[in-house]
Structure formats: structure tokens, C-alpha cells
Amino acid sequence: MEQIKVVGFDCDGVMFDTKNANIAYYNRILEHFGKPEMTSEQFEFTHTHTVYESIEYLFQGNLDKINAVHEVRKQISYMPFLKLMEIEPYLKPLLKTLRPEHKTAVATNRTDTITSVLFEHNLQEYFDFVVSALDVEKPKPYPDPIIRILNHFQVEPGEMIYIGDSELDQIASKSAGVFFIAYKNPGLYADFHITSLKEINQILF
């Protein structure tokens, strides 16, 4: 795919295995309000959605309760949970291979934690552009984050690939018209399916 100029990444589930970190974080919030730990169904939702959507989902739309939860959430720093995130083994080697020939970007439904995540794992220098849920009007599954990347680099949809692991990533990619690579999720509709980031080299080169 010689035409590809930009390679975009989702964060959770692609760049990192964040299952343990996210479970611990949301369970800490639930514990504060005397609620039981997350079910597997609740985790699947929080894994892909923004923190605002996740809190609303976990607290069942109770507006008064949700406002109180967000006040507590602001006091519970995500920083202690960063150490529970496991970076994908081949991520840094891949990023070194891609740049500078390809531009690299992140489009994530994380909000105010993505910058800390990148710094904690010494990844900030490997990405040319980062889009969080705070940077767009509508986060994934809307195509806004990916379109923002396209506009930033002034490239056409056919010149970008996006690597994701969820249906939200699939929908956003297809809506934006970019090539979608499904990571460790054979149930998604994608242009390519991979089980290791090493396979990106085989696709691009």
C-alpha cells in the first residue's frame, strides 16, 4: 500500500492492554459509591467509550448521581493506574519503522488521560498528532477524530489506515473512508485483520 501516508492508532486494546488498569479505575469509583464491581458487560462498554459515556452507563442515567460521580472522579487521579497498562510488545519498534516516511497519529476516546499515558510510557515523541475525545464535537463511533487527522495532515481518506479493536473503531473508519485494520478481533468488518502489530509492516511494505 504505497499510497498510505498516515497510520492512525486506537489506544486501549491496540497500543496497550488496558484491561487491568480500566477495571481497577472504574471499580475504585464504584466502590466509593457503594456499588459492586463491574460486570464483564460493563467492562466491554467502558473499554471503548468515553469516561462521560461510561459513567452515565454505570450509574444508569441518574443525573444527580452522575454529577456527584464526576466530582469524585476528578479527585481520583488515573495516574496510579498507569502502571497497570501493558504496552504492546512491538509498538515502539513499529513506530520507529514507520517514521519519518509515514505520519503517525492517535485517535482515542480517552479524554484527559491520553497525554499522561504517552508520557508515562515514553511514547510522546513517536506520534505526530493526537486526537482525544475532548478535541472533537463527537467522538468515535462518529468519524470526527479520524477526519480531524485527515485534515491535519491534508491527506485523502485513501492515504490513511486506522488500527482499532472495536466496533466503534470500525464504524468511525468506514464513515471517514479510511482503510481499517482490525486488531485481535476477527468479528469486525475490516480491510485487514491482524493479531500482531508486526503484521503492519507486511501490509505497508
Do 68 and 141 sit in the same domain of this protein?
no
Q: In 22-51, which positions are buried (b, 16+ CB within 10 angstroms) versus exposed (e)? A: bbebbbbbbeeeeeeebeeebbeebbbbbb
Alpha helices (H) in 2-143, listed in sequence order: 19-32, 40-48, 51-58, 63-75, 91-98, 114-120
Q: Residue 70, SS3?
A: helix
Do 10 and 36 sit in the same domain of this protein?
no
Residues linked to residue 17 through DSSP beta bridges, in sequence order? 86
Q: How far is 85 from 108, CA to CA, in rounded Å?
A: 15
pLDDT for 70? 86
pLDDT for 159? 98
Q: What are phi and psi of 54, to 5 degrees?
A: -65, -45
* C-alpha cell recorded at residue 51: 469516561
Do 13 and 54 sit in the same domain of this protein?
no
Do 134 and 196 sit in the same domain of this protein?
yes
pLDDT for 61? 65
CATH number at residue 159: 3.40.50.1000
Do 64 and 156 sit in the same domain of this protein?
no
Diameter of the chain by CA atoms?
54
Do 49 and 137 sit in the same domain of this protein?
no
In a domain, 1, yes or no: no
Average pLDDT, the chain: 94
In a domain, 152, yes or no: yes
pTM, 2 dp:
0.91
What are the pLDDT tens digits along the chain (205 aa)?
789 999 999 999 999 999 999 999 999 999 999 999 999 999 999 988 998 899 999 988 676 788 888 888 888 888 899 889 999 989 999 999 999 999 999 999 999 899 999 999 999 999 999 999 999 999 999 999 999 999 999 999 999 999 999 999 999 999 999 999 999 999 999 999 999 999 999 999 8
In a domain, 160, yes or no: yes
Domain interval for residue 33: 19-82
Do 194 and 96 sit in the same domain of this protein?
yes
- Give the count of domains, the chain: 2
Residues linked to residue 195 through DSSP beta bridges, in sequence order? none
